[in-house]
Amino acid sequence: MTHFEKSPIPAHVPADLVRDFDYMNAPEGVDLYDWWRSIQDGPDVFFTPRHGGHWVLTRHDEIAHVMATPTDFSSRVHTLPAEGKPLRMAPIEYDPPLHTDFRRLLAPFFTPKAIGNLEVRARDLAVSVIDSLKGRGECDFVADFSLTMPIGIFMSLVDLPDGDRLHLLDVAEAIVRGKTPEEQGAGFMQAFAYLGAKIAERRANPGTDMLSAIIHGKIEDGRKLTDNELLGMGALLLAGGLDTVAGMMGFMAHHLATHDDHRQALLDDPGLIPHAVEEMMRRYEIANVARVVTHDLVLNGVAMKEGDCILTATAVAGLDERQYPDAMTVDFARENKRSLVFGKGPHQCIGAYLARTELRVFLAEWLKRIPHFRVKPGAKPIMVSGRANSVHYLPLVWDI
Amino acid sequence: MQYICLSCGHIYDEALGDPDHGIPPGTLFADLPENWQCDFCGADKSFFAPEDEA
């Protein structure tokens, strides 16, 4: 079944709660987040026949509740459509307690001390790339910066050669935004082929990198990870590490290119940068993940059956007026900027501290060197929806 | 003793507590309610670790 086809509506779904909504296909010519917010004009919970048929939550509190309650809502299905993945991705598609064991292997690489060492590299890399762009007076922010800087950090974390970067970006794109199970599955197969070779290398010659730690780490009663667990975990790291920070940087760069007052506020007081990062992450949340119902239950007055899939799109959670007054407005001084951008509960993103560090470094170093920039006149940035929203094209210009 | 949020780097200092959320100075981290959250990013209590170990 492709995304163009619709699944039958299950008997337990009330007809008045059915909407035709395809979360991976925002209409052309509309603002991506206006489109996400518009689903809040309908029921708080509705059902769409797209992508195998699934529920959609439109409000922050229900999305937070589902994310934080793994006994009722399992991460066994973490993205939609459910059948797109040949293997389960550890740790996010596992529930506790095995999920906790997987996370324990990764945790040492994401402590503030470990990230502190990476921050130096992130800053050096950002400065080097920005300096190379500054004299040009223009760039495609995506191709020239956001697909370079954070990915360079990720490649060093897993000790992969920079020459593989473009190939892996294509793989991550298919995994994160492949619109059919076939497209996504092809991305996974490419990832597994690549990772299989790297795993064999690191088995023979372990290093101090994250991939080696996973290969040689132990879970449960002291066993090593199976080959399928290793491949699934590696694929998740590729998709998460290569794609998400780059996407968020694109939305932030676009926001600042189109809001002179916000850019000036950060130039006047760089101490605002951590607050600006939180607020822009709240306004432009990107991860559109899912859960599966573990037993028949009622959520927000709606009866759901075991096995029903639920889209818990953070992209819409951050735009909820019930949680954030004047939600579409970016306000660095907003009292409550706390969002679901990194998830909630046991599956909260383990890379959150690294992501925040990279975003803060990006803003600080970019604004020091290219303080005033705008979208190239006449050009049209491209923003797309998917399992993670992203910016595909962002032409910027500045005076030199 | 100080605890750091592994999600955003915010510090919970037991000597200072979290008065904005009803936690008086001197409250041990272990005594914080289980539903207490990071004041800056909203991460759960379980995302904090002793600052000198993280």
| Chain segment A271-294, per-residue pLDDT in tens | 999 999 999 999 999 999 999 999
Asked if the Cβ–Cβ distance from B43 to A356 is below 8 Å, we say no
**How high is the ipTM of this complex?**
0.90
Looking at residue A84, its pLDDT comes to 67
Question: Are A244 and A388 contacting, i.e. CB atoms less than 8 angstroms apart?
Answer: yes
Tell me the angle at which helices A165-177 and A149-157 cross, rounded to the nearest 10 degrees.
100
Contacts of A342 in chain B (CB under 8 A): 7, 41, 43
Asked if the Cβ–Cβ distance from B42 to A338 is below 8 Å, we say yes
Asked if the Cβ–Cβ distance from A278 to B41 is below 8 Å, we say yes
Q: How many CB atoms lie within 10 A of CB A61?
A: 14
Q: What is the pTM of this model?
A: 0.92
Does A67 or A176 have the greater pLDDT score?
A: A67
What is the share, in percent, of chain A residues with pLDDT greater than 90?
68
User: Each residue of A200-217: pLDDT tens digit?
Assistant: 999 999 999 999 999 999
Alpha-carbon A188 to chain mean position: 17
- Beta partners for residue A18, in sequence order: A47
Per-residue pLDDT band for A1 (boundaries 50, 70, 90) equals very low
Per-residue pLDDT band for A384 (boundaries 50, 70, 90) equals very high
- Average of per-residue pLDDT across A8-27: 96
How far is the alpha carbon of B47 from chain A, nearest alpha carbon, in Å?
9
Q: For residue A331, what is the DSSP state?
A: -
Question: H or E segment at A352?
Answer: helix A352-369
Which of the residue ranges A13-22, A77-86, A103-112 has the most confident prediction, judged by mean pLDDT? A13-22
**Cα B22 to Cα A400: distance, rounded to the nearest angstrom:** 52
C-alpha pair distances (Å), B5 with each of A24, A165, A206, A231, A353: 33, 31, 31, 30, 9
Among the partner-chain residues A112, A278, A342, the one whose CB lies closest to the CB of B4 is A112
Nearest C-alpha neighbor of A343 from the set A365, A302, A312, A303: A312
Asked if the Cβ–Cβ distance from B8 to A353 is below 8 Å, we say yes
How far is the alpha carbon of B8 from chain A, nearest alpha carbon, in Å?
5
The answer on pLDDT for A192 being more than 70 is: yes
Tokens of A381: 């940035």
C-alpha pair distances (Å), A326 with each of A42, A315, A320, A335: 19, 16, 9, 12
Which residues 18-47 in chain B show a CB within 8 A of chain A? 37-38, 40-44, 47
Tokens of B46: 């379980």
